[in-house]
Amino acid sequence: MTGPDEGTPTRGRLARTARLAALPAAYAGRTALGLGKRLGGRPAELVAEQVQQRTAEQLFAALGHLKGGAMKMGQALSAMEAALPEQLAGPYRDTLVRLQEAAPPMPAARVHEQLRASLGPDWRTRFRDFDDRPAAAASIGQVHRAIWSDGTLVAVKVQYPGAAEALVADLGLLQGLSPLVKAAIPHLDVRALFAELRERFVEEVDYAREADAQTAFADAYRGDPDVLVPEVLAVDGEVLVTRWIDGTPLSRVIADGTQQQRDRCGRLLVRLFASGPVRARRLHGDPHPGNFRLMDDGRLGVLDFGSIQPMPHGWPAGLGPLLAAGRDGDAAELHRIAASARLLRPDAVTPAALLALLDPYLQPLRTPEYRFTRSWLQEQTRRASDPLGAAQRTQRKLSIPPRHLLLQREAAELVGVLCSLGATVTIDGELRRWLPGYATFTGPGL
């Protein structure tokens, strides 16, 4: 029987900590049980597979029930699963994909309570029909298919009760890792980073703000041959109503799409990411696959605008020349631009060390087309995480401001999705089109 709070976020820091702490403890218990089975004659490979599968199922259940920041962490992992070695990522890939748009749902009675609180006691008169079964359930709310009063097919996003408290509780949990973050990146202002994260978390539960962002994107891309943004029809309290769009989930394209579909999705994801700050004066900051659909007409449907970074002046002026200098192997100019943007202290990192750190990530800029692969990303992850490697030593000397650090995270998640797709993408061409100073860079002094 479903309990009264099933499908809504666990509230309170202690309760959420206990659920997260139970994951490694349960894994240890299953591992011990697996040892017993091996001693009893069961093949080690079969036992290991069963242990990992059960752990994956508990991961889905725990993060899905917690929702909030914990589930967002799982969704971020789903965007970056291509970075993990196959023997680790394989058993968890399906679980992480399910987290993209299918968490344990909120009961219909609780959904009706939320609709009544936001739209009023006569909320049913706003719809000709409302499907109580959620079409998707994610970290902040779940989506229901309905028919608006004028006959329009709509998506109704209903926020979970306590979503804001859950996000704040999870930020508190993450803040406990501050000493580790400081040790890994000594020059990072950790306090400023968490202040930035708190601001983003609070913004994500503000459906009025999300509606404004979605409307800005819908206006900017209206009639676009490549990107489809559904129009916002209503927003009130913790309910957001937009036009419904169908299409093939990006997760399904990743799982079994044709190479043509993979390349198409990859190219349009890059175009959305690169063009957003220019066309909508905002950056779409949540590239995990659950937020996108490949439409039958070839357009990329974009579903979620909760995590949007305002960029009223477009891309930072120095970003184009910075990437172009790295693309061209101009270590001195790369170092000068990075220092002027306060990304490093000139005396702490040499130009050669900075170029060596960034060089592998700049490979996609040096050819008209580049195919992203899991093996490439796994190698970069291994190199960057080696505690004794030169890359790790250089990274520790950088001083990236929190706002730039979040931009770097969004770019990393996008690359993770491109590698999961195995997409061939024209990165250089898109940057030349949308990033000021990238195409015109010719060297020092400009």
Give the pLDDT of the chain (446 residues) as one tens digit per residue: 344 455 555 555 455 445 444 444 443 443 333 434 434 444 444 334 443 444 444 444 444 444 444 445 444 444 455 555 555 555 545 555 555 445 567 889 999 999 999 999 999 999 999 999 999 876 678 899 999 999 999 999 999 887 777 666 666 666 665 665 555 555 556 676 667 666 777 777 899 999 999 999 999 999 999 999 999 999 999 999 999 999 999 989 999 999 999 999 999 999 999 999 999 999 998 888 889 999 999 999 999 898 888 999 999 989 999 999 999 999 999 999 999 988 888 889 999 999 999 999 999 999 999 999 989 988 888 887 777 788 888 888 887 777 777 788 788 889 989 999 999 999 999 999 999 999 988 765 43
Within-domain flag for 328? no
Strand ranges, E, within 275-399: 282-284, 292-294, 300-302, 308-310, 370-371
Within-domain flag for 213? no
- Name the DSSP class of 366: S
Q: How many CA atoms lie within 13 A of 335 on its CB side?
A: 17
Rg of the Cα atoms in the chain = 23
For 320, the token pair is: 């184009």
For 2, the token pair is: 């479903």
Within-domain flag for 52? yes
Alpha-carbon span 281 to 125, nearest angstrom: 36
Q: Cβ(360)–Cβ(383) under 8 Å? A: yes
Q: Cβ(295)–Cβ(228) under 8 Å? A: yes
Residue 279: which of 199, 213, 233, 207 has the closest Cα? 213
Which residue segment(s) compose the domain that 42 sits in? Answer: 13-99
Within-domain flag for 309? no
Within-domain flag for 47? yes
Phi/psi of residue 182, each to 5°? -65, -40
Amino acid letter at 56? Answer: A
Within-domain flag for 222? no
Within-domain flag for 249? no
User: How many domains does the chain contain in total?
Assistant: 1
The bridge status of strand 300-302 relative to strand 227-228 is parallel
> C-alpha angle 195/196/199, rounded to 5°?
90
Alpha-carbon span 376 to 422, nearest angstrom: 10
Within-domain flag for 153? no
For 84, the token pair is: 């993990």
Q: Cβ(396)–Cβ(236) under 8 Å? A: no
